[in-house]
Amino acid sequence: MSYFRDIRLINYRNFKDYSLEFTKNCNVLFGTNGSGKTNILEALSLFTKGRGIRKDQIKNFIKKNENNFINFSNFKQFDDSIELKVNSEKKNNKIIKKIFLNNDSSKKTIDHLYSLFSFLVFLPETERLFLSSPSFRRNFIDGFIFSKDNAYNILINKYKKNIIERSKILNLNDYETSWLDKLEENISNLGLEIYKARKLQIFSIQSHLSLLNEQQKLSFNKLIIKINDRFFNDGINIELYIKELKKYREIDKITGGAHIGPHKSDYIFQLDENILVSQLSTGQQKTIILLLYLAQSNYLVNECNLKPILLMDEICSHLDDINRKLLLKITEHFDLQIFMTGTDKNLFSFLSTNTNFCNITE
């Protein structure tokens, strides 16, 4: 099993020099608002690809009036102990982050590091998943895909780059059609790959939820997730896609972007075909959200042979008896390392006795 044994934060956000030790099971970070709980979850998330759970700019991680942050963690990987380090540094007038594994930052080593663990993240705004914008739901599902396959963001970025490139060409007065044709072919191929990954992801959540429902006698209604997209259906293929993009050239020239594609998709969540999840009460929506995390954990652990690390920020609102049991199941069923935050220790009294409570004070 892989897990973070500790963390040390130096000139990071509100912390001057702050250390914490963790257990390989459930860790609860509690403390008053502004004590730095979310900052600590974010610090953990910086030990992998990207700009962390809040997708902030690297310069904002540096404590005010300091030059650079530098964070350390001892990471346990089966019998090995790995020293992780991440810091900010200046490169060509930009502030970037750099990760080291046992003081080695070569591409090969860092790619290896990326393969060691992934995160499954719950943020306070996740609470409003079913009421938020389509792009919020797209990013949510994409985050689940990323927790299984960390190369997925490369696909998304390539797709976005090609869409931007196409917009630029469309706005030139004079361009080579073959150039545009080639781009649209690329976009179609990448777009189809994204649709495929998302279809597999929602299929996996649904099937693992059904499985859990049966095995654990959870007695929840069947959850149905559909991709809501004017273009996407099971019959689409590359030729249709290319043809459709070509058709929209004139419109896309005026409106920018592209009229069709996975960047326009939304998802519909239903219970048993006839109840929209968005119309349930806030607490009932929280139940569905917890079920999504339960299903995704089951999928990653039992089908993909992965052990995600769960970062759950302000997870305790709307916890009735049902939701508490679900959260308890997530913490106990998979033997995963979990980090939860909340303002009050008492909110977590339902957790098992081997929980590690950290009072965050700085």
Note the helical H segments in 57-176.
107-116, 134-148, 152-170
Query: Does 68 sit near ligand ADP (CB under 6 A)?
Result: no
- Structure tokens, 4: 């973070």
Q: Which C-beta is closer to ligand ADP: that of 197 or that of 360?
A: 360
Which partner in ligand ADP, Mg ion, none is near 39 (CB below 5 to 8 A by kind)? ligand ADP
Task: Residue 41: name the closest of 346, 315, 353 by CA.
Answer: 315
- How many Å is the Cα radius of gyration of the chain? 22
Query: Which of 3, 4, 9, 13 is the binder for ligand ADP (CB under 6 A)?
Result: 13
How far apart are alpha carbons 125 and 53 in whole angstroms?
A: 12
The DSSP annotation for 301-329 comes to: IIIS---PEEEETTTTTT--HHHHHHHHH
Query: Does 118 sit near ligand ADP (CB under 6 A)?
Result: no
User: Could you tell me the CA-to-CA distances from 108 to 48, 52, 115, 131, 149 in Å, in that order?
Assistant: 14, 21, 11, 41, 17
How far apart are alpha carbons 197 and 145 in whole angstroms?
A: 7
Looking at the DSSP bridge assignments, the partners of residue 95 are 90
How far apart are alpha carbons 187 and 165 in whole angstroms?
A: 10
Our measurement of the distance from residue 249's CA atom to the centroid of its chain's CA atoms, rounded to an integer in Å, reads 33
How far apart are alpha carbons 312 and 293 in whole angstroms?
A: 10
Query: Does 33 sit near ligand ADP (CB under 6 A)?
Result: yes
Footprint (CB under 5 A) of Mg ion, residues 186-215? none
Which partner in ligand ADP, Mg ion, none is near 35 (CB below 5 to 8 A by kind)? ligand ADP
Closest approach, Cβ 62 to ligand ADP, in A, equals: 6
Query: Does 147 sit near Mg ion (CB under 5 A)?
Result: no
| Those residues with Cβ within 8 angstroms of residue 234's Cβ, 6 or more apart along the chain or in another chain | none
Closest approach, Cβ 31 to ligand ADP, in A, equals: 6
Footprint (CB under 5 A) of Mg ion, residues 319-348? none
Query: Does 97 sit near ligand ADP (CB under 6 A)?
Result: no
Query: Does 2 sit near ligand ADP (CB under 6 A)?
Result: no
Residues touching ligand ADP, count (CB under 6 A): 14
Query: Which of 27, 36, 293, 316 is the binder for ligand ADP (CB under 6 A)?
Result: 36
Q: Nearest-CB residue to Mg ion?
A: 38
Which partner in Mg ion, ligand ADP, none is near 63 (CB below 5 to 8 A by kind)? ligand ADP
Residues touching Mg ion, count (CB under 5 A): 1
Which partner in Mg ion, ligand ADP, none is near 13 (CB below 5 to 8 A by kind)? ligand ADP
Measured distance between the N- and C-terminal CA atoms of the chain, rounded to whole angstroms:
31
Query: Does 323 sit near ligand ADP (CB under 6 A)?
Result: no
Looking at the DSSP bridge assignments, the partners of residue 53 are none
Residue 78's CB: how many other CB atoms inside 10 A?
A: 7
Q: Which C-beta is closer to Mg ion: that of 286 or that of 329?
A: 286
Closest approach, Cβ 360 to ligand ADP, in A, equals: 6
Footprint (CB under 5 A) of Mg ion, residues 10-49? 38
8 A C-beta contact, residue 130 and residue 277: yes
- Structure tokens, 226: 């559909």
Query: Which of 19, 57, 60, 81 is the binder for ligand ADP (CB under 6 A)?
Result: 60
Closest approach, Cβ 146 to ligand ADP, in A, equals: 23
Query: Does 137 sit near ligand ADP (CB under 6 A)?
Result: no
Q: Which C-beta is closer to Mg ion: that of 120 or that of 294?
A: 120
Query: Which of 63, 76, 98, 264 is the binder for ligand ADP (CB under 6 A)?
Result: 63
8 A C-beta contact, residue 321 and residue 356: no
Q: Which C-beta is closer to Mg ion: that of 122 or that of 267?
A: 122
Residue 48's CB: how many other CB atoms inside 10 A?
A: 21
Which positions lie near Mg ion, rule CB under 5 A?
Answer: 38
Which positions lie near ligand ADP, rule CB under 6 A?
Answer: 13-14, 31, 33-39, 60, 62-64
